């Protein structure tokens, strides 16, 4: 199997809030936005990040009889590598973003990391290489 391209699609409950978060807080360039149709795309580094309404995807794959959410551990985490984690942390906090953890060193993986969530609860990790 040959893959030409790939991207991450988040299935979200609150499309509008998540769209504003990735556009305004994370400052990802918007490549496509049709919120009325329930879809948006961003550029995040060398990745395409798309948002799609969770309920609509459930209907497409005939899973709409299942609960939309369950109280469980995180099933996914988006990882974004940044050049300067302290600067990114300060910039996002200034915009009102609440972090789960302040920047901390992880010498095992030679990373500096911080975690936050988008409005839909998706876990996001910001990583900076320590070398």
* pLDDT value at residue 51: 94
Contacts of 77 (CB under 8 A, 6+ apart): 115, 122, 123, 124, 125
Average pLDDT for runs of 10 along the chain of length 131: 77 94 97 93 94 83 74 80 95 96 90 93 92 80
Beta bridge partners of 51: 10, 40
* pLDDT value at residue 71: 66
Listing DSSP states for 53-116 in one string gives EHHHHHHHTT-TTS-S--S-S-S-EEEEE-S-HHHHHHHHHHTTPPEEEEEEEETTTTEEEEEE
Q: What are phi and psi of 115, to 5 degrees?
A: -125, 145
């Amino acid at each position: 199997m040959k893959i030409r391209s790939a991207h991450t699609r988040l299935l979200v409950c609150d499309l509008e809030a998540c769209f504003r978060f990735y556009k305004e807080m994370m400052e990802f360039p918007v490549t496509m936005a049709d919120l009325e149709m329930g879809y948006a795309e961003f550029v995040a580094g060398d990745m395409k990040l798309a948002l799609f309404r969770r309920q609509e995807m459930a209907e497409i794959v005939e899973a709409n009889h299942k609960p939309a959410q369950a109280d469980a551990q995180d099933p996914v985490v988006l990882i974004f590598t940044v050049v300067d984690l302290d600067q990114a942390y300060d910039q996002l906090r200034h915009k009102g973003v609440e972090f789960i953890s302040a920047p901390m060193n992880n010498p095992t993986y030679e990373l500096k990391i911080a975690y936050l969530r988008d409005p839909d609860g998706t876990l996001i990790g910001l990583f900076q290489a320590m070398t």
